[in-house]
Amino acid sequence: MAMEDALAASTPFDALEGSDRGFARAIAGATLRALGRIDRSLSQLVDRPLEKMDAAALAVLRVGAAQLWVLETPAYASVSATVEAARQWEPANRSGGLVNAVLRRADRERSVYDDIPASTIWPDWLAARLKSGLGSKRADALASLQLQEPSTDISVKSDPEAWARKLDARALPSGSVRLPTGAPITQLDGYADGDWWVQDAGAALAATLFGDLSGRRVADLCAAPGGKTLQLSALGAHVAALDISEPRLDRMRENLDRTKLEATIIAADAAEWRPKAPLDAILLDAPCSALGTLRRHPEGAWRRDPKRLARYPKTQTKLLNAAHDMLKSGGRLVYCVCTPLPEEGVEIVDAGVKRGDWRRVPICADEVPGFAHGLTEAGDLITAPPVGSASEAHVLSDVFQIIRLQKA
């Protein structure tokens, strides 16, 4: 079960209000984001393998350790509160002494956590996969990003600087606006009037890479819940928004109604659908492993099956080939996936270029302000955090591979 679904189904969580509710969510997120690193550290502080511990006691220890090591909550508060929680929770009510002893040691011996590489937050197979694809330093930078609480970014129809002032937010160099932590989204100015929508700053880059879209016929493939469709429409395109999921398209309809933007919504498999006439441009946000969004969905690292990841490149290749059929000669396509794995991004595109179907149109630094550190030698973009210090101001976001192509 996803973290948000689990919280929504929790009666105790539902009873919380205000700062207590926010802190409970922060604890859950921090525990899941750093789970592998927490477990490896706790294993040095207990006298038995973690898999042989009582499951309830281990769960409480993980939560307490996350408060100490990840959220850096003062020990006097986190230890006492966690021990009390163990005593009040029936499955763990006999473990208070153990929890107290281990967490006090965890506070004294913080180096057992601090000295472990950040990439230990993931299962071993995933850490190895990411290190192989990105290199160890970049994988550690990605892990450090995952440990941070995700920001809430919005895309605005116009004048991001003005909206940043109005919302007491920060205008990013890329044109997105970053809201203050904990901002009540639906209650903010402009939400009900549809002046903006929630969209990660990295995700918002893809739709900006086509140039002038006024009056052009554009398809947004795998479009729901519709952030990129809204962008394309706001830029003046005639948008056909395709998705195979009717429930997700219902969310898109709601977003279009609220923002008073227009698009033709089509429930169809993008691998099979074809337009009546060739399109000017296509945005393909292909289904993927979503490993670039783990700070928002931290349980995902532990729910992924390494064997099932093999299905994504096949689907992505099929969709890229379908997009080639839909596009007019010389038309442009922006390929986007929210994963750093090269086999789901650059390698899919390289195969199409090698076949002669596509040619790359390199992305330039001035097109992606705040993300220039992520440009590759080929002119593709990966919105992963920089390794070490970067000379230019950079924006932290979810991790996307974004590649611009032209039909050969």
Which amino acid type is present at position 190? G
Distance CA 117, CA 232 (A): 41
Output the 3-class SS for the chain. Answer: CCHHHHHHCCHHHHHCCHHHHHHHHHHHHHHHHCHHHHHHHHCCCCCCCHHHCCHHHHHHHHHHHHHHHHCCCCHHHHHHHHHHHHHHCHHHCCCHHHHHHHHHHHHHCCHHHHCCCHHHHCCHHHHHHHHHHHCHHHHHHHHHHHCCCCCCEEEECCCHHHHHHHCCCEECCCCCEECCCCCCHHHCCCCCCCCEEECCCCHHHHHHCCCCCCCCEEEEECCCCCHHHHHHHHCCCEEEEEECCHHHHHHHHHHHHHHCCCCEEEECCCCCCCCCCCEEEEEEECCCCCHHHCCCCCCHHHHCCCCHHHHHHHHHHHHHHHHHHHEEEEEEEEEEECCCCHHHCHHHHHHHHHHCCEEECCCCHHHCCCCHHHECCCCCEECCCCCCCCCCCCCCCCCCEEEEEEEC
Task: Calculate Rg over the CA atoms of the chain.
Answer: 23
Token couple for 19: 């700062």
* CA dihedral of 204, 205, 211, 215, whole degrees rounded to 10: -20
Please confirm, yes or no, whether 364 is among the known catalytic residues.
Answer: no
- In the set 222, 288, 336, 338, the catalytic residue is 338
Distance CA 252, CA 257 (A): 9
**Active site positions, annotated:** 338
